[in-house]
């Protein structure tokens, strides 16, 4: 009897389980990649490996589709039959499979985006900036809409929080495979090109199989900086100006590129990588300086190469395109400073003044990178003046397409990235500031910690002098509890530079994280705004205030439902305070990739925010695997930026603000009931005696700390005796690994049950964006959970009461979510997402069964290296399969 191949089974479960067809081209990609993986396993795996992978695969598919106790037990028996060495190989095989399926899904998404080609008529009504502008113009008029477009700001901040389970070597291999899959696509008709592409993919998959999946040691902060740089080099440097161009093309039509753009650059990048020292002793002032140097090196190399490339193409003769007097004066000034280069440029560009001048500008950019004081630009503004001098001259000479073509994109790149690429933001805990300030004011010898804290301020000043004020200056205070916590920053800065030293320009940003802090936030802001020093800074920066809201700790503090409601309430009150005090407010959302840390689709979350809390500005952290998922591929990065920016532009439209305000008022009583009931339910679990050690037993929480994910420690103390000891990321990561995902949904079922009125809740789901977003996100979280496996993880803890509490809440929540969102099962209203989850689930189950086996052995006292390694391999594989961690 014919046994289906790996890829045949993939296709079958993807179609049958999800109830719909996988797109044919994606099916073909999976078939090719899967067959090549099968060949690698046969050729290089130990004898019988491929057959054992097939046995477990068939068993988990049967268990998933039949959903019977007997079927799941058969799958468990297969997993338990392997030796620890064989289980190690099988876990690696399934992990590589997930990397390949992730690649196929990404490839399909890119294929769809390329077919749409950014055309608004093929997008949803508010799905792109251009479409959002049209809708906004219909409500507020063209002039007001254009003003809002020009003031638009999307500000992603990359962080090094340890949530990327893949090694960088694995990520690099996958990127090479992506390029090879593109080549294979182009040679689908067969022949030598297709055979060559298939052979190279086989080689790369073999390399991926042979690459160690686990890091040998934790990365240092500078390693994390370089990992982020790969995203910039390969994607963001070109993707961001392409987004601007596509928006301008849509708004200006055929005239785009032949006249000045209506689009102003609306993306700014920030980074905590090398700047976030809260709880990370390895991030020092020296690391922060090095991080800035690495980033500056990358952006200046990029600008130099782009300017040189454009100069080579700007072969416009003086007779057809005469240079303006300003360009001639600029040439003389540049030539006087760089005589040898000027002679060479003149020789290579006879009668081509624009080309020759731009060649010398490229030389000055290079000098800025190498710190040649005679030639270096003082700041990005000086470079922009020179570029615009050339641009205006080209336009005046009738060469508008050259003025507003590639040269315009270079100008956009300078405006977006400056000489620093991404602003380094410093973050430190308020308790550290208080301790160091007390030392400084006591007048005695300073501790090593105090010296380090003060050195950070001197480093900020150096970076601002070297790369401009935008390079550094935002300073986040974790666990802000009072106005004094914010005032301490400037006092420390004064101690750092001395009584007569020049202070760095610093904007102090409070981070409100816990439930109590969120409630206290408006009062703290009111108090700090009355301080004379703070008021003086407000006058200097046009009364702009940034406030950061923490999604992670608030969710761990009171549960996801109460945290979501508290965050909405805090935003509404902070926005009202800003309106009353003529403040230009930017709310900085400290979200993670997982739902327990504020994750989920960003655009729907933005459109659910309170009135005036967005106002055309959106700043958000991007962490771990989310960075590479959203920004690692150019087409996907452009799509993500376009979608988020569209939502930011549309969020302040009168219709959206009226809708959200009316819904919040209408359902205030419902929200209050949900808040109280969910908090009580959450605390009944996490406040139970022995909860913290039980949690550490039923999940791989302790073992996650052994994964070399990032430089930052996973917990605040040596052991976990309470939730306060545990950081939010491993809290979420551990529940995800146990296939429970508790951090994303626990308490919602009880909250909805407390309201009880199903008709009211159905109406609220349609009318109240905050509730709809919450329920849709929980549906995704529950779809990735698995009750059968969750029961087995919870059984490791020998606490039937706590296990029952979790499972009862899971069933109740799932029941309510299905009833309110419609359809007979989770994600019925999101068939594409449902298909993706169902296609993956049986294969994730295989890794979960191997992980459970390892956990049982370790919990029984067997701590041999084989079990520890199997557990860590399975953690990495499950993370790849579920596509989110923390």
Residue 9 has pLDDT above 60, yes or no: no
- More confident call, 233 vs 603: 233
Residue 1 has pLDDT above 50, yes or no: no
Rounded-to-integer distance, Cα 342 and Cα 534, Å:
49
Q: Which of 99, 155, 161, 640 is catalytic?
A: 161
Q: What is the pLDDT of residue 869?
A: 92
Q: What is the pLDDT of residue 189?
A: 63
Whether residue 556 lies in the annotated active site: yes
If you average pLDDT over residues 443-455, what whole number do you get?
A: 95
Backbone angles phi, psi at 521, to 5 degrees: -55, -50
pLDDT tens per residue across span 198-210: 999 999 999 999 9
Whether residue 161 lies in the annotated active site: yes
* pLDDT category of residue 603 using cuts at 50, 70 and 90: confident
Q: What is the pLDDT of residue 885?
A: 53
Exposure string of 793-809, with b = 16+ CB inside 10 Å and e = fewer, is: bbebbebeebbebbeeb
Residue 119 has pLDDT above 70, yes or no: no
* pLDDT category of residue 17 using cuts at 50, 70 and 90: very low
pTM flag (> 0.85): yes
Residue 601 has pLDDT above 50, yes or no: yes
- State the chain's mean pLDDT as an integer: 90
Joined tokens for residue 640:
């993500």
If you average pLDDT over residues 556-574, what whole number do you get?
A: 94
Q: What percent of the chain has pLDDT over 70?
A: 91
Q: What is the pLDDT of residue 597?
A: 42
Rounded-to-integer distance, Cα 194 and Cα 176, Å:
16
Backbone angles phi, psi at 159, to 5 degrees: -120, 160
Q: What is the pLDDT of residue 686?
A: 95
Residue 18 has pLDDT above 60, yes or no: no
Beta partners for residue 248, in sequence order: none
Q: What is the pLDDT of residue 606?
A: 93
pLDDT tens per residue across span 627-673: 888 998 999 999 999 999 999 999 999 999 999 999 999 999 999 99
Q: What is the pLDDT of residue 552?
A: 78
Rounded-to-integer distance, Cα 122 and Cα 758, Å:
36
Residue 435 has pLDDT above 80, yes or no: yes
Residue 121 has pLDDT above 90, yes or no: no
pLDDT tens per residue across span 702-748: 887 776 555 555 554 444 556 666 666 788 889 999 999 999 999 99
Q: What is the pLDDT of residue 703?
A: 83
Task: Confirm if 632 and 235 have CB atoms less than 8 A apart.
Answer: yes
Rounded-to-integer distance, Cα 745 and Cα 561, Å:
7
């Amino acid at each position: 009897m014919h046994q289906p191949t790996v890829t045949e089974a993939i296709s079958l479960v993807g179609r049958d389980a999800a109830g719909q067809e996988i797109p044919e081209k994606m099916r073909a990609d999976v078939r090719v990649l899967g067959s090549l993986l099968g060949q690698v396993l046969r050729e290089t795996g130990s004898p019988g490996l491929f057959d054992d992978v097939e046995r477990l695969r068939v068993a988990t598919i049967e268990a998933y589709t039949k959903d019977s106790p007997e079927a799941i037990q058969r799958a468990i028996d297969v997993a338990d039959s392997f030796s620890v060495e064989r289980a190690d190989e099988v876990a690696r095989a399934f992990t590589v499979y997930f990397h390949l399926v992730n690649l196929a899904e990404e490839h399909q998404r890119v294929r769809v985006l390329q077919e749409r080609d950014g055309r608004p008529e093929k997008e949803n009504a508010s799905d792109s900036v251009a479409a959002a502008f049209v809708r906004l113009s219909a409500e507020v008029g063209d002039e007001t809409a254009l003003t809002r477009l020009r003031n638009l700001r999307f500000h992603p901040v990359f962080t090094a929080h340890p949530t990327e389970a893949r090694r960088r070597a694995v990520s690099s291999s996958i990127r090479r495979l992506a390029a090879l899959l593109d080549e294979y696509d182009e040679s689908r008709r067969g022949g030598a090109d297709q055979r060559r592409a298939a052979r190279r993919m086989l080689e790369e998959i073999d390399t991926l199989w042979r690459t160690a999946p686990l890091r040998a040691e934790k990365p240092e902060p500078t390693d994390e900086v370089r990992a982020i740089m790969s995203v910039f080099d390969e994607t963001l440097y070109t993707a961001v100006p392409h987004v601007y161009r596509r928006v301008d093309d849509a708004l200006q039509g055929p005239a785009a590129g032949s006249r000045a753009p209506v689009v102003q650059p609306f993306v700014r990048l920030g980074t905590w990588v090398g700047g976030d020292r809260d709880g990370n002793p390895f991030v020092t002032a020296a690391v922060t300086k090095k991080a800035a140097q690495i980033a500056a090196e990358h952006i200046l190399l990029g600008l130099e190469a782009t300017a040189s490339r454009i100069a080579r193409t700007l072969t416009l003769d003086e007779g057809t395109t005469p240079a303006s007097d300003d360009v001639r004066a600029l040439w003389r000034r540049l030539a006087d400073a760089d005589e040898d280069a000027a002679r060479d440029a003149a020789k290579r560009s006879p009668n081509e003044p624009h080309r020759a001048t731009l060649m010398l500008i490229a030389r000055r950019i290079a000098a800025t990178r190498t710190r040649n004081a005679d030639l270096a630009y003082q700041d990005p503004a000086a470079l922009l003046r020179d570029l615009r001098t050339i641009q205006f001259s080209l336009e005046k000479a009738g060469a508008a397409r050259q003025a507003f073509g590639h040269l315009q994109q270079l100008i956009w790149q300078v405006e977006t990235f400056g000489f620093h690429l991404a602003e380094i933001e410093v973050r430190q805990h308020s308790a550290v500031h208080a301790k160091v300030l007390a030392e400084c004011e006591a007048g005695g010898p300073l501790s090593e910690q105090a010296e380090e804290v003060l050195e950070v301020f001197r480093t900020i000043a150096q970076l601002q002098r070297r790369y401009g004020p935008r390079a550094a200056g935002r300073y986040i205070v974790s666990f802000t509890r009072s106005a004094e916590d914010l005032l301490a920053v400037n006092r420390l800065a004064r101690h750092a530079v001395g009584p007569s030293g020049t202070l760095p320009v610093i904007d102090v940003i409070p981070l409100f994280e816990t439930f109590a802090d969120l409630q206290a936030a408006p009062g703290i802001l009111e108090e700090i705004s009355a301080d004379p020093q703070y008021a003086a800074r407000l006058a200097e920066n046009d009364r702009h205030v940034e406030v950061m809201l923490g999604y992670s700790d608030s969710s761990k503090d009171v549960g996801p439902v109460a945290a979501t409601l508290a965050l909405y309430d805090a935003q509404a009150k902070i926005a009202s305070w800003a309106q009353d005090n003529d403040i230009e407010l930017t709310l900085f959302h400290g979200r993670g990739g997982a739902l327990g840390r504020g994750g989920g689709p960003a655009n729907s979350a933005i459109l659910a925010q309170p009135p005036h809390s967005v106002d055309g500005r959106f700043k958000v952290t991007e962490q771990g695997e989310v960075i590479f998922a959203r920004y690692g591929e150019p087409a996907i990065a452009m799509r993500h930026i376009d979608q988020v920016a569209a939502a930011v532009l549309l969020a302040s439209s009168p219709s959206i603000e009226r809708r959200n305000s009316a819904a919040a008022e209408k359902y205030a009583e419902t929200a209050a009931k949900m808040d109280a009931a969910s908090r009580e339910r959450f605390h009944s679990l996490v406040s139970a005696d022995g909860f913290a050690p039980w949690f550490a037993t039923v999940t791989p929480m302790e073992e996650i700390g052994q994964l070399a994910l990032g430089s930052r420690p996973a917990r605040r103390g040596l052991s976990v005796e309470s939730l306060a000891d545990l950081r939010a990321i491993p809290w979420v990561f551990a529940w995800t690994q146990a296939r429970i995902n508790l951090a994303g949904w626990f308490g919602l079922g009880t909250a909805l049950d407390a309201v009880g009125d199903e008709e009211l809740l159905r109406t609220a789901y349609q009318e109240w964006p905050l509730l709809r977003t919450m329920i849709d996100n929980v549906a995704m979280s529950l779809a990735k959970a698995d009750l059968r496996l969750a029961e087995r993880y919870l059984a490791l803890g020998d606490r039937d009461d706590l296990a029952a509490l979790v499972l009862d809440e899971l069933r109740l929540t799932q029941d309510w979510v299905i009833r309110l969102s419609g359809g007979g099962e989770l994600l019925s209203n999101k068939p594409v997402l449902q298909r993706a989850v169902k296609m993956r689930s049986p294969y994730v189950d295989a890794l979960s069964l191997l992980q459970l086996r390892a956990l049982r052995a370790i919990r029984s006292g067997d701590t041999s290296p084989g079990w520890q390694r199997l557990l860590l391999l399975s953690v990495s594989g499950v993370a790849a399969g579920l596509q989110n961690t923390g």
